[in-house]
Amino acid sequence: MDQSVEEKWQKRWAESHVFEPDMDSARKKFMITVPWPYTNGPLHVGHGRTYTLADIIARYKRMTGYNVLFPMAFHQSGTPILAFSERIRLNDEKTIRQYRENLSEYEEPENIDAIIESFKKPENIAAYFSERIVKDFTSLGYSMDWTRRFTSADPFYQDFVVWQFNRLHDKGLIKSGRYPVLYSIDDQNAVGEDDISDGDIDKVTIEEYTAVIFKGTEYSLVAASLRPETIFGITNLWISPSGDYVLVEMDGEKFAVSREASEKLALQHDDVTVIGSIRNSQILSQEFTAPISGRKLKVYQAEFVDPDNGTGVVYSVPGHAVWDFVAMKEYSLDVDPVTIIDVPSDPGITVQSLVSQAGISGVSDSDLIKEATQKLYKEEFYSGKLNGYNGKYSGMTVQQARDSIRDDLFAQKLGFIFYETSRHATTRAGSKVVVSVMKDQWFIDYSVPWWKKLSHELVGRMFYYPEFYRNAMNDAIDWLRERPCARRRGIGTRLPFNREWVIESLSDSTIYPAVYTNSTQLREIFRLLGRIPEEIMDFIYGSGDRSSLSGFDVAVQDLAREARRSLEYWYGVDIRLTAHPHLSNHLSFYVMNHAALFPENLQPRGLIISGLVISNGAKISKSKGNAISLLRISHRYSADLYRLFVAVNADIASTLDWNEDEIQAVRKKYETFLALVSNRQHDAGFISTQIESWFESRFNQHLEEYFQGMEKFDLRGAIISIFYEVMNDIRYVEQRGGNTGYAISRILDRWIQALAPVIPHTCEELWESMGREGFVSTTIMEKDNPGPVDQEILSAEKYLQKVIQDIRDIIKATSIDPATIEISVCGSEMRKLALMLGENRVSEATPRLKPFIGDYMKNKRNIDTSVSGEAAILRESLTYLEKTFQCQVNITENSPVPGKKIAWPGRPVITLKPSS
């Protein structure tokens, strides 16, 4: 459909408020939600898929009698919006270029600069993109209720989050403790992914090293390792020839580490003092003792040692570390690699074999070495065992030994935890990013057993599509431990028990769908009181006990009571639909927080988890430039085409590939549909034949399949049945010489209704053009009564097609070009015999018919007594048969002659007579 037509209907829907439901205790409710979008930029086709699927379901449920609530709000919490805004203030070219490009889809070129200028205030970014998203969603025809819209930055919503956290705290689920974070040295502040240069493309994570202490006579050396289990394989130590080393004092001990490492240590441990610098030659002249093994070690210099990684001191395990092995060879050092780990499943995996396989010639092949290191690391970690050289650790798996050796090192004060970033990183402003340990980080403690138990019970009660995600959810819940739930900065709600902290953006968005049910009332209460007191929140979302309202105005009390009623009516989200990457974070928090805070009747009922969208086989990402924005979709393809594509081109659970070829294929079908329906015509006096009745029965069958599919959320199957298959049938009617206009007109109302959830604009337009009153979107379909199916007509048509196929097969096998086709159908006498034999009443056959029993047995497989009146069926379609084969067709009744071909029910004798 034309874009202007789509806009017309979007406008009419909005003006008539048809998607803004009220409570109605007489009707069953259905609440469906999709996680709210983050408002720092435009959404792309990938986001659109989940919202579109949800809208199709919402529309379908609405049209099968439910009171449907499909609300939407916006997420603004966290640092990204702040970070983007700050980058614009700093005139970061990349960011500005990206926004310029985003905006060029929406705005006139002359306005763009002013808008970007306004983005220097973060709230303007959020406000701008919220509006854009509303428009994008509207332009795709979503039947959302926007009247309940709010954002995670709205003060009344933050009062709700405060209530939530106080309740979690009451239940003992909030804790505080030490925790490592990414930290900017210059800014003296924690940083998030969005503050880090290229943080979105190349993610920075925190890695937990084991710092191992090598005792010396005057001071010790500290090397940080990810693989403490290799301690028995240590042959020597490395330092950097170009690094500056310093002596630090920590816990009463003196360590030599790189200057960079001393800064990091100071951020991670209390009471770290730098005593002074120390010359490399001084270190090289000393010997140090390896812990546990007690081995004496020399120190060498190696170029690959980075003073700004770990402690700037590396212990060398040439038997199991590619770097060490390559360096040892290159410097021709007099050390013997020791093999201390065996990989029984793949004994070929050794440092030596990997180095030769990869063709590594020296330490300069750093990429090859990194690759080989990863491979070795993974193999040894998952399948490795410590061999007999490992003292009391011999025989342990690598995973066991790692923990065990680490614990022993810590216990003997020969080691401690050292955090390091997974790569070198700076903030967008250029300040170095390191790991710092926060002393009073707040957590939500998802490990509490009673909580896990409640959550598993909830998972057990919920509906899952696809079902296998139920297990995945249980696993995710088991995996969850303490989660930091607050940050020092970012948009969001202040932690009520320590207002220096801001609640982290996933943690403030777990039970928010509850607010959809009554945001209108909350907003009003907030307006009247300037805040929403705890007692009121507790009444609405918690106890429902009216006595807690007694201190408030009647107006406030009324609002609170309505809010509570609304929650009780709507809540329990029936379906929450999102893509699978959310499972192990948002969705598991969603489930667990509801399990902790709400009674059973207000808990989630079901989850639908969709696959991702890829574009031409590749993952969609902004940096790849293949992120197609949603607005461009409705402009370029039309909303209905996009919706149809999303519904039909992949099952909800599968990955959907967005590519032009497939879209064009769907477009062709869609246009064929439009042409069929718009150009249909038939005379009032037209008398129908069998084929139109056949079509109607087929349609009713497809409609039933459609309802069955939709009810179990197999949207793809349902739409294929009601769209593709019905169109194939229309084509068949045409081919059979039937009157398609008449056939379509018999089913058109119901057809348009069934398609309306998927292509609503098109259907409204057609509905109106048919002279129907009101919106097709608000009509109710009788899903329990799809219409009669005449099996006799269906099997008659099937029989005809079988005969045609047989004739084709014979033509193909014989290469005869027939001038006449004789079809000799089974007579009543033989039919009786077949029925008799079919019931094993052989003895009743008359002597005259007995000779045919052998032939019956031979052809048994192909005999079908379910069709009666074969001759009549064929005669009625004689013209069609003659047209199909371009020759004369004669229908006769077979009189059986022993030794000749015999016609049986469902299997006439076919004879081709060539022309010459």
Q: Tell me whether residue 662 or residue 768 sits nearer to RNA (CB atom).
A: 662
Ranges within 365-394 binding RNA (CB under 7 A): 382-383
How far is the CA of 661 from the CAs of 611, 625, 638, 666, 724, in angstroms?
A: 20, 19, 16, 9, 18
Residue 655 within binding range of RNA, rule CB under 7 A:
yes
Ranges within 163-182 binding RNA (CB under 7 A): 181-182
Q: How far is the CB of 480 from RNA (least distance, A)?
A: 4
Which of 433, 424, 419 is closest to 186 using CA atoms?
Answer: 433
Residue whose token pair is 């809540």: 571
Q: How far is the CB of 753 from RNA (least distance, A)?
A: 22
What number of helices (H) and strands (E) belong to the chain?
33, 30
Residue 808 within binding range of RNA, rule CB under 7 A:
yes
Report the residue from 147, 188, 205, 785 that binds RNA according to the rule CB under 7 A: 205
Ranges within 237-296 binding RNA (CB under 7 A): none
Q: Tell me whether residue 384 or residue 786 sits nearer to RNA (CB atom).
A: 384
Q: What is the C-alpha separation between 848 and 858, in angstroms, rounded?
A: 19
* 3-state class (DSSP) for residue 854: helix
Q: Quick one: CA torsion of 738, 742, 748, 750, rounded to 10 degrees?
A: -80
Read off the tokens for 883: 């047209």
Write the interaction track for RNA spanning residues 446-465; mark x where CB under 7 A is met and - where it is not: --------------------
Q: How far is the CB of 248 from RNA (least distance, A)?
A: 27
Give me the helices (H) in 571-659, please: 588-597, 630-636, 639-648
Listed ranges 24-32, 244-252, 296-304, 574-582: which one lies at the site for RNA (CB under 7 A): 574-582
Q: How far is the CB of 84 from RNA (least distance, A)?
A: 12
Q: What is the C-alpha separation between 178 and 201, in angstroms, rounded?
A: 29
Listed ranges 8-16, 424-432, 628-636, 723-731: which one lies at the site for RNA (CB under 7 A): 723-731
Residue 651 within binding range of RNA, rule CB under 7 A:
yes
Which of 590, 526, 579 is closest to 552 using CA atoms?
Answer: 526
Ranges within 103-162 binding RNA (CB under 7 A): none
Report the residue from 343, 437, 506, 849 that binds RNA according to the rule CB under 7 A: 506
Q: What is the C-alpha separation between 140 and 831, in angstroms, rounded?
A: 59
Q: Tell me whether residue 524 or residue 714 sits nearer to RNA (CB atom).
A: 714
Ranges within 319-348 binding RNA (CB under 7 A): 345
Q: How far is the CB of 12 from RNA (least distance, A)?
A: 31
Report the residue from 118, 339, 352, 584 that binds RNA according to the rule CB under 7 A: 584
Residue 206 within binding range of RNA, rule CB under 7 A:
yes
Q: Tell me whether residue 217 or residue 886 sits nearer to RNA (CB atom).
A: 886
- Residue 434 makes CB contacts below 8 A (sequence gap 6+) with 182, 183, 185, 263, 264, 267, 421
Q: How far is the CB of 157 from RNA (least distance, A)?
A: 15
Q: What is the C-alpha separation between 609 and 605, in angstroms, rounded?
A: 14
Q: Tell me whether residue 7 or residue 806 sits nearer to RNA (CB atom).
A: 806
Q: Mind giving me the DSSP string for 21-39?
A: ----TTS-EEEEE-PPPBT
Q: Mind giving me the DSSP string for 421-468?
A: ESS--BBTTS-BEEEEEEEEEEEEETT-HHHHHHHHHHHHHSEEESTT
Read off the tokens for 370: 């990194």
Residue 406 within binding range of RNA, rule CB under 7 A:
no
Encode burial over 788-813: b for 16+ CB neighbours within 10 A, e otherwise. eeeeebebbbebbebbeeebeeebee
Residue 654 within binding range of RNA, rule CB under 7 A:
yes
Residue 735 within binding range of RNA, rule CB under 7 A:
yes
Ranges within 778-807 binding RNA (CB under 7 A): 803, 805-806
The rounded radius of gyration (Å) of the Cα atoms in the chain is 37
Listed ranges 584-592, 595-603, 828-836, 848-856: which one lies at the site for RNA (CB under 7 A): 584-592
Q: What is the C-alpha separation between 434 and 418, in angstroms, rounded?
A: 11
Q: What is the C-alpha separation between 694 and 690, in angstroms, rounded?
A: 6
Q: Tell me whether residue 281 or residue 815 sits nearer to RNA (CB atom).
A: 815
Ranges within 466-505 binding RNA (CB under 7 A): 468, 471-472, 475, 479-484, 504-505
Q: What are residue 316's DSSP bridge partners?
A: 236
Q: Quick one: CA torsion of 904, 905, 907, 910, rounded to 10 degrees?
A: 70
Ranges within 842-871 binding RNA (CB under 7 A): 862
Residue 585 within binding range of RNA, rule CB under 7 A:
yes
Listed ranges 45-53, 510-518, 685-693, 814-822: which one lies at the site for RNA (CB under 7 A): 814-822
Q: How far is the CB of 374 from RNA (least distance, A)?
A: 13
Q: What is the C-alpha separation between 185 and 190, in angstroms, rounded?
A: 9
Listed ranges 431-439, 626-634, 725-733, 832-840: which one lies at the site for RNA (CB under 7 A): 725-733
Write the interaction track for RNA spanning residues 669-708; mark x where CB under 7 A is met and - where it is not: x--x------------------------------------
Ranges within 69-88 binding RNA (CB under 7 A): 75, 77-78, 80
Which of 446, 477, 465 is closest to 605 using CA atoms?
Answer: 465
Listed ranges 118-126, 137-145, 322-330, 583-591: which one lies at the site for RNA (CB under 7 A): 583-591
Report the residue from 161, 650, 743, 744 that binds RNA according to the rule CB under 7 A: 650
**Residues contacting RNA: total by CB under 7 A:** 71
Single-letter amino acid, residue 169: H
Q: How far is the CB of 186 from RNA (least distance, A)?
A: 20
